[in-house]
Amino acid sequence: MSVIDFETGLSIARGHLDELENSGSAALILIDGRAGSGKSRFAKLLSESFFREHRFLPRLISMDDLYPGWNGLRDGSVYLLEHILGPLAAGREASWQVGNWEQAGRGRDEPGNGMRSLQPGNPLIAEGCGSLSKETSPLATLRIWIESDTQVRRERYSERDGGKFDELFGIWAAQEDEFYAEQQSAFLADVLITN
């Protein structure tokens, strides 16, 4: 597998979305990588680029909405499979509840208690740590891994929340180490992007 830059990766992913949209097939793009690697930014730019031509947004799911707190990387990955990707692959509606990091559980103080749903057949981009696993990989139409230097990732992580969660970087990184050693997510990817 060749390693490509961020812009080339966007171009490849956009072409993939366009090709499947034109063929009438539903796209499922999984974007994974360690915290601060640029997954959310990549997914947002890809979604916006697709919208400019097709005038509708692919559904974008952030794993941040699926983790049940700071110790929930693995739980979020399983939740993605069981409540979203599995049902969609079976041609059924996906239904899930957004995680609440403060309460280390599910549900939000909003109408519907954080419930979301998605009908099959719509293009979907799922991004975040744990989105690409041995179980989710076969369901995807395109698998992307984004890689960044550890120091750069740590700086981005800190900047994102103004340093509020800096002390939790190590807790999250330990979960990444365990999950990625087991799942080998980078090796499941079709596209490896450096950022």
Q: What is the mean pLDDT of each run of 10 residues along the chain (195 residues)?
A: 86 89 86 97 94 84 94 96 97 93 78 88 95 98 96 93 90 97 97 95
Cβ contact 70:171 at 8 Å: yes
Mind listing the domains of the chain with CATH numbers? 3-194 (3.40.50.300)
Quick: pLDDT tens for 110-133: 777 889 999 998 899 999 999 999
Which amino acid, residue 120? Answer: P
Quick: pLDDT tens for 80-112: 999 999 999 999 999 999 988 777 778 877 777
Cβ contact 148:36 at 8 Å: yes
Q: What is the pLDDT of residue 140?
A: 97
Q: What is the pLDDT of residue 192?
A: 96
Alpha helices in the chain (DSSP H): 6-23, 39-54, 73-79, 86-89, 150-160, 169-183, 185-188
Q: What is the pLDDT of residue 77?
A: 98
